[in-house]
Structure 1
Amino acid sequence: MTRFFHVSDVHFGRENREAVDWFNARVRDEMPAAVIMTGDLTMRARAREFAAAAEWLESLAVPITVEVGNHDLPYFNPFARLAMPYRRYRALERMIERPLDIRGVSIVPLKTTARFQFRTNWSKGHVSRHALQKSLALAEAVPAGGVVFVAAHHPLVEAGTRATSRTRGGRRALEALAQAGANAVLTGHVHDPFDIEHPVGERTVRLIGAGTLSERTRDQPPSFNEITVDGTSFSTRARFLGEPSVAL
């Protein structure tokens, strides 16, 4: 069996220090095969927030892949957002949208953020055709019998949580990824954990969302997901700060 820790929305600048320290201890003591971080490392994409995020990720000492969240794009500087939105990510560059292949499990990144959208709320998700094609190429290259997890920030379709993603192109992306062999899509953004089955044609894809380690909780306390893979089957447990874990 192989265990992964799926964490999201730490929001350095508004992180819950107790929750981050608790997560660090769990990684140190339990040594998951990898950490999958699905975005919103920072609160306002400030340099000091990225510095804290980089230090945190480096300290975990396990393989890591990181998705970019909407809070990780420059908030107060429109020029930086449009011209060089990921400049402050350079310290984390080797982890960003990094495919991982670990013991029969392939982690495929999918970008769901956009520098600009033709709608007022740019925090919502967007899957471009270019981003989707990159992810499809990675998924289709996985050998037969392998487990494929797609990692993105925004849920591709709504999962019944209080917060929403309203991801443009999300349903199209989910259908294409299912056809390419994806077994699950791991996301963040909504700050509450979930694991639901979603039928796509003749296949079923699991939609798995992680909670938050920030002060910005919604319906559930700070948490992360533990995903255990056994052959081609897998299970998810939400592990809550100060409370028993819950099978999703």
Structure 2
Amino acid sequence: MYNGPLRLFHLSDIHFGLVDQQAIDWAKACIDREMPHAVAITGDLTMRARHPEFQAACEWIQGLDVPVTVEVGNHDIPYFNLYQRFFDPYRRFKAIERMVETQLDLPNLAIVPLRTTTRAQYQRFPWSNGWVTDHALKQTLAQIDALPEGTRVLVTCHHPLPERRADGKLLTINGTRTMEVLAGRKVMAVLSGHIHDPFDLTEQTPAGPLRMIGAGTLSKRIRSTPPSFNEIVIDGDQIRVTARNLEKVPTPAMQIDEVPENALPPREPGEPVSPVGKVPPVDPPVH
């Protein structure tokens, strides 16, 4: 039985439809050359959940010769087809998921999904931020509780779980309770995306600390860091994170120290900015 360190590549927010072709070509070359034990993609495969975007994402993922697990992001739910958004929001994503999802066989490690997307949110508009519904949390906890005792657990979701910033801005509904429950289950870390800047933060909860690891983007929609993905090495109970990027910026200069409100470039004083500060002069395009 393999007992050495496990290496995962954590990708997020690839946004086929507005993808950075050089970045995904480089990421694929890294995967082909280094053959990590698995690739975890934490949502936003597409820009607008269009069929051609899902097709491009599917072809790219199927070209990877390693096990892959994918989670849905808010951009993977139809924006323009409101009938499908309300009555069958995950149809296109599930079709892709069935084609690309691989059974992961990692020694003493389970990667458990947590859905943070919803078709609508009565509390607010727009509906781009997260919501952990009671049903979604129950499904995740059931999977964790069914694992053999002592199994190390990573949870994957799209949205970071912190619920509020100091200004009271709602980020992920039910995130505070979710973090406490996951900390109580001794989850090693929660992997997420959505922000387009990488981070590695530990949140204190009444049930203990919970580590949260966010990946950057491989799209043209950068926030304050160049396109990147996370290399995650799990050695026993230790996790090491490297924010890999084409510009070879050191990881500490890539990571933000607070979860911002959204993935848009920081425009107001006090918004979290990475030390590298690669903020685009204008907001990135949205098609």
TM-score, normalised relative to structure 2:
0.80
Q: How many Å separate the matches in 2 of 1:104 and 1:58?
A: 26
Indicate which of 229, 232, 240 corresponds to 1:227: 232
Q: How many Å separate the matches in 2 of 1:173 and 1:122?
A: 19
Q: How many Å separate the matches in 2 of 1:144 and 1:200?
A: 23
Q: How many Å separate the matches in 1 of 2:97 and 2:192?
A: 20
With over 3 angstroms needed to count, the CA separation of the structure-2 counterparts of 1:206 and 1:140, relative to structure 1, is: same
With over 3 angstroms needed to count, the CA separation of the structure-2 counterparts of 1:46 and 1:24, relative to structure 1, is: same
Q: Deviations over 1:51-79 (max 9, x none)?
A: 00000111112111111100000011110
Indicate which of 125, 145, 148 corresponds to 2:130: 125
The answer to which of 195-204 and 67-76 deviates more is 195-204
1:35 touches 1:65 (CA, 8 Å); kept in 2?
A: yes
Alignment of 1:204 with 2:209, yes or no, is: yes
With over 3 angstroms needed to count, the CA separation of the structure-2 counterparts of 1:177 and 1:228, relative to structure 1, is: same
Please list, as runs of the form range in 1=range in 2, the aligned pairs for 1:152-171 lying within 5 A after superposition: 152-157=157-162, 166-171=171-176
SS of residue paired to 1:210: strand
With over 3 angstroms needed to count, the CA separation of the structure-2 counterparts of 1:100 and 1:128, relative to structure 1, is: farther
With over 3 angstroms needed to count, the CA separation of the structure-2 counterparts of 1:227 and 1:213, relative to structure 1, is: same
1:7 touches 1:210 (CA, 8 Å); kept in 2?
A: yes
Task: Give the aligned partner of residue 12 of structure 1.
Answer: 16
Q: Deviations over 1:167-206 (max 9, x none)?
A: 0011111111111221110000000000011222352211
User: Which structure 1 segments of 5+ residues have no match?
Assistant: none
1:165 touches 1:189 (CA, 8 Å); kept in 2?
A: no
Q: Which has the larger radius of gyration?
A: 2
- Deviation, 1:12, is 0.3
2:216 touches 2:229 (CA, 8 Å); kept in 1?
A: yes
1:99 touches 1:107 (CA, 8 Å); kept in 2?
A: no
Aligned amino acid, residue 246 of structure 1: T
Q: Deviations over 1:140-164 (max 9, x none)?
A: 223333221100000011698xxx8
Task: Give the aligned partner of residue 269 of structure 2.
Answer: none
Please list, as runs of the form range in 1=range in 2, the aligned pairs for 1:24-173 lying within 5 A after superposition: 24-94=28-98, 100-118=104-122, 119-157=124-162, 166-173=171-178
User: Which structure 2 segments of 5+ residues have no match?
Assistant: 256-287
Q: How many Å separate the matches in 2 of 1:231 and 1:75?
A: 42
The answer to which of 95-104 and 135-144 deviates more is 95-104
With over 3 angstroms needed to count, the CA separation of the structure-2 counterparts of 1:138 and 1:30, relative to structure 1, is: same
